[in-house]
Structure 1
Amino acid sequence: MKPSVYTTTHLWIMALIILLGLGLIVQGGYMQAKAHFAQFLIERAFEQTLVDNQPHKPWSWADTHPVAKMRLLQTHAQGTQALGPDLYVLAGASGRNLAFGPSLMLGGAGVGEQGNTIIAGHRDSHFMRLQYVNVGDMIELYSATGKLQVYQITTTQVVHETATEVLNQTENSQLTLITCYPFDQLSGNAQYRYIVQAKPMV
């Protein structure tokens, strides 16, 4: 008995849907592998910088280099616990750099310098973890020379994108982390920013 045209059409549609699904799975796996390999290259470049105090590009065509390693620490009654793996901060908060990691805004103070050190990151990747930090938690920031500065989070706030005063320079040293808000709304045109500010611990 021959299948009807109706049944044959449905079989072709099902096969097409399966092929499209497999294609998306393969593409997603490739993107994940690419992202992990990029992090490995960035980490290796930072480690080379610690050895010779020279900037190193993570790959030959990169227009940036890692300038810091950052670790977010949650404080508990039992002690402190790292909130996710270490993050490597790239120089220059361009759209291309932000795709690979949090990035230092060059208009602010440099890592380890006096003033407002500003680091931006995407809310759907590297800075997704900012939604879990609290006032009193700590941030470890290692400079390209290996010097460690520990910061304690003093404020978290949501501001409109026009509230650029959070980017202003300060006389005293502080660390400002910035990402788009809300975290669960991933449309491209976010009007709000989530700001985490921290002061150095003496």
Structure 2
Amino acid sequence: MAATIILIKAFLCVGAFISILGLWHPAKALLGQMLLETAFKAGGEQPWPGADLRPIGKLQFPRLGIQKIILSNATGQAMAWGPAILGNKKFPDFKGLTIIVGHRDSHMRFLKDLKQGDLLKFITLNGKQLRFIVNAKRVVEKTLWVPIVTKNLQPEIILVTCWPIEEEGPTDKRFLVHLVSDN
């Protein structure tokens, strides 16, 4: 009887541990956005000691009530905390194409709910608001981004995450949301 109780407690502990591990990434994403919001309001300060990222702007999708802090570099570590700029883009110039990437299981899950014509506001560190409109959505092979990219110097944004959004694990597909300037 005592051995059975110990075994049940052990299984409960293992189950609790596995549950905590499963919630770690989404919890880190939520905590990160709160710390990054504070750093954004402070003008793009380092959000915590030793961080290799900084907030550079904020995305707002009014129809969905979604707001995300955008980070300065799309490293694997940075993307655990929030969506990030791909490449060495200087802000707030927004000349040509800007690519923002993020994980499908946390920060970019909402992309599936966007509709053509939805408004995006990009707020810079100095408070300037740039408006963009959802122009197109596509699922592509991860190596085939080129068809949606243009050489236009008008401000454009592509939001990228893995596809399918509701699944876990590696995938060879990417979900792209193309936005054009509405300024």
TM bucket, shorter chain: 0.7 to 0.9
- Which secondary structure does the structure 1 equivalent of 2:42 belong to? helix
Report the equivalent of 1:178.
Answer: 160
Report the equivalent of 1:78.
Answer: none
> Which moved further from structure 2: 36-45 or 149-158?
36-45
CA deviation map 1:2-39 (0-9, x unaligned):
x5xxxx55433212112223334556677665544322
The 5 Å alignment of 1:1-202 reads: 9-25=3-19, 34-49=28-43, 55-73=44-62, 81=63, 83-107=64-88, 110-165=91-146, 166=148, 170-187=152-169, 189-202=170-183
Aligned-CA RMSD value? 2.3
- Which secondary structure does the structure 2 equivalent of 1:86 belong to? strand
From the superposition, tell whether residues 40 and 167 of structure 1 become closer, same or farther in structure 2 (CA, over 3 Å). Answer: same
Would you say the 8 A contact 1:112–1:143 is kept in 2? no
Deviation of the 1:114 alpha carbon: 1.1
**Count of aligned pairs:** 182
Would you say the 8 A contact 2:154–2:181 is kept in 1? no
Would you say the 8 A contact 2:57–2:124 is kept in 1? yes
Structure 2 unaligned segments of length 5 or more: list them.
Answer: none
Identity level (%)? 26
From the superposition, tell whether residues 180 and 101 of structure 1 become closer, same or farther in structure 2 (CA, over 3 Å). Answer: same
Structure 1 unaligned segments of length 5 or more: list them.
Answer: 50-54, 74-80
Letter of the 1:142 partner, please give it.
Answer: I
> Which moved further from structure 2: 115-124 or 104-113?
104-113
Considering Cα pairs closer than 8 Å and 6+ residues apart, tell me whether 1 or 2 has the greater RCO.
2
